Amino acid sequence: MNFTVDRADFGMLNGARVELIRLSNGVVEASILTYGAAIHSVRVPDREGQLGDVALGHATLAEYVDQPQFMGSTVGRLANRVAGGRFMLDGTEYRVPTNNGPNSLHGGDQGFDKANWQVLALDTEGAASVTLGHVSPDGDQGYPGTLNVTARYALDAANTLHVDYRAVSDAVTVVALSNHAYWNLAGEDSGRSALDHILTIPADHYLPTDATAIPTGELRPVECTAFDFRAPMPIAARVRDAGEAQLRIGRGYDHNWVVAHDIADHLRLMAHVLDPVSGRVMEVHSTQPGLQFYSGNFLDGSSVNKSGRMLRMGDAIALEPQQFPDTVNRPEFGSVRLEPGQVYRNQIAWRFGVQPAGNQHHSRIEGEAV
């Protein structure tokens, strides 16, 4: 396997250079931006061997800065929403920016997605990889403790793109990172909707939300609902079901599926996605217990992708492995607490392949018992 890593300029931000790092294994190519430690592109073959870019992104740095939509970004300190933009930690109330209605989203209005990360290492030994680093100072967006974060992206010989997030703090804090890549396996320039993808999520329960997208605390069974993806299901089949109150709240899917109840020390399957036209398949694996599935409900034509197409609802989907939303305020969901010197970790892997023409067999995936 011929692993290569290349660096290129992608623009200037506040006097600092933003870089694009291309990882290749000779079959698949992934490009990573230092801005937001973001996935910029992932080029993978279809069943005919034709390469297509399946990750949404922008052509220029200015578009990332001017139209922030977490496009491929690393999000934190806390991925997803914090109710009311506040939480208690050891008897002290902390307030963080409310940048999503009454709530805080993805770390605030100046979260990790808007930082220009530093290149710490490049490697081609066993995989094409880049390690990026970022230091979030004490009080950053209202969060306590100085947090040192790294993100190591690696493209291996099995056409799998990995990211290994790690973080260490000098004081008690909270942290839960994820990646907000938008995917369209038909290709970001294809003009075809990602809602035609066939999705499988091995989860028996999901978290319903209130009108502001904060989980109510209920773990609701997916059985006999529009949220049942244990067997392969086209996303479009039920995404506009007006009879489902939860879909009306989010204008589609924007919910957390309960794949497990613990953080694992090994990767486990979170989702399987198939584009039946191109035959491209993507499996998402992670060590985290939850999967936020977002059907691109608020893509409204205000931004364009790398191929110059206006992005509309359903042009891509996000599948974000993470701790459950608002866990910082719901101890029954687990814990996002990080002690000084303790290492936080989230591993995510996107495994790409193809389904041969005429192969329509799919097996049911069972979720873990609740």
Active site residue ranges: 180, 320
Angle at 214 between CA 313 and CA 73, to 5 degrees: 55
Rounded Cα–Cα distance for residues 246 and 225 (Å): 10
Strand partners, 174: 337
Give me 83's structure tokens.
């109710």
**Bridge partners for 180 per DSSP:** 73
- Cβ(239)–Cβ(255) below 8 Å: no
